[in-house]
Amino acid sequence: MIKTDVVILGGGVIGLTIALKMLNTGREIILLDPEEPGTGTSYGNAGTIAEYAVLPVGSPEIIKKLPSLLFNKNSPISVKRTEILSLAPWLIRFLYQSMPKQAAKNAQAITDLLANSRLRWEELADQINGKSLLNRNGNIYLYKTDSSYESGLKDINNRKKYGLNAEMLNPSELNKLEPNLNFSEGGASYFPDGAYMSDPGKMTKLLLDASVKKGCQVIKKEANRIDRTSEGVKVTLADKSEIITKHLVIAAGAYSKKFAKQAGDYIPLDAERGYHVEYDMKDPLLNRPCCSAENGFYMSPMTGRLRVVGTVELGGLSPEISRHRVSHLEKGALSFFPDLGKPSREWLGFRPSIPDSKPVISQSSKGNDIIYAFGHGHIGLTLAPVTAEIVESIITKSKPPLPISEFSVQRF
């Protein structure tokens, strides 16, 4: 049996960032993942460092739009019909969290957690030689019609209540920033403080390499069970081998719920399935990630390809790709760039989502021997560095970088 100081269960961007942070405290760290770390959801996202994503998914506006959003096959949010019963408890909590008072409270907590995300990523990227992958061109929301521009303006004014820095652009101002976009009406909102990664998969590889160099032991096996024992937390792996650890960090993204349950906590975690299609090309048409506000997807310029990425499909962890969702992305992309042709590849990933859009970054209800770091939904890439700082403060019993009660497991 192996004994160690800290086991991190899950090697996505959250687990990897925590591993690197904890190695700096001189502790012995084991990272567990049956897959190559960083190649899941943390690889296929839109790459935005989205300090502007201050609003939770659940809001009073979404309640009004919900029937058309859920039952119109072409809407940016859909529900897998076969999963509707198992999703019901999550959806009920989501509706409650979408009410005005709850949504405003959640927005403030998310705003506080997002503060300085770009700065934190700049420092982290510097440490792991990833500076060239981080771009500071800002990010854009696109509105193709005057009426969606008007809705966008309301959305931006709402975000400005939380201190957001954003500018509205008319079609010719947009065209100066993005010469390949020629709108006859509508416009855009521009977030000059936004940043993005030109290859999230390469960034997670750099995180892994830096952790291994500092002594992190990576065990490519699946964890099956966790138990508290008198010697520490016992992690039993799929091959029946065991590890005893002083602290266990559960960072398995959308797969974390069963481990929290084994630790004694019920957490309403479900997966928001998201897709991407990629078009290989030398110059990927855009200077920064641009989000189609009407269609709910980003077009993100990545190294050697344009990634068209997003939409939400509520409904579990099955690996089956929805042809309809993929074709929604393809058709949407063609409406901006008619000459794109067929995509070079497609991908499905799982956003780990909590109904109030706030991650769980917290010690378990029974103590800091088990720590939760999952549920980052749409903004896990952005929030990885601050999550690692909070986890470090929980393990070392030091002051966290911000008040953390909003992210506690006690809220459920």
- 34 contacts ligand FAD (rule: CB under 6 A): yes
Tokens of 187: 């416009």
First to last CA, the chain: 35
Where does this chain touch ligand FAD (CB under 6 A) — which range of 32-40, 77-85, 184-192, 206-214?
A: 32-40
Q: Helix (H) and strand (E) counts for the chain?
A: 12, 20
Closest-CA residue to 352 (of 381, 383, 375, 384) = 375
Is the CB of 57 or the CB of 156 nearer to ligand FAD?
57
- 349 contacts ligand FAD (rule: CB under 6 A): yes
Asked if residues 229 and 166 have their Cβ atoms less than 8 Å apart, the reply is no
How far apart are the C-alpha atoms of 176 and 48, rounded to whole Å? 21
Strands, E, within 129-222: which ranges?
134-135, 139-143, 167-169, 187-191, 195-197, 217-219
Residues 44-63 binding ligand FAD (CB under 6 A) are 45-48, 50
Binder among 379, 386, 394, 409 for ligand FAD (CB under 6 A): 379
The number of beta carbons lying within 10 Å of the beta carbon of residue 295 is 22
- 252 contacts ligand FAD (rule: CB under 6 A): yes
- 382 contacts ligand FAD (rule: CB under 6 A): yes
Q: How far is the CB of 348 from ligand FAD (least distance, A)?
A: 8
In terms of Cβ atoms closer than 10 Å to its own Cβ (0-12, 13-18, 19+), residue 63 is: middle
Is the CB of 103 or the CB of 302 nearer to ligand FAD?
302
- 268 contacts ligand FAD (rule: CB under 6 A): no
Contacts with ligand FAD: how many residues (CB under 6 A)? 41
Residues 6+ apart with CB under 8 A from 117: 49, 50, 51, 382, 383, 385, 386
- 332 contacts ligand FAD (rule: CB under 6 A): no
Is the CB of 118 or the CB of 376 nearer to ligand FAD?
376
Binder among 30, 140, 248, 251 for ligand FAD (CB under 6 A): 251
Q: How far is CA 318 from CA 251, 268, 347, in A?
A: 20, 18, 13
Site string for ligand FAD, 307-326 (x = CB under 6 A): --xx----------------
For binding to ligand FAD (CB under 6 A), which residues are involved?
A: 9-15, 32-35, 40-42, 45-48, 50, 222-223, 251-255, 274, 276, 309-310, 349, 351-352, 374, 376-382
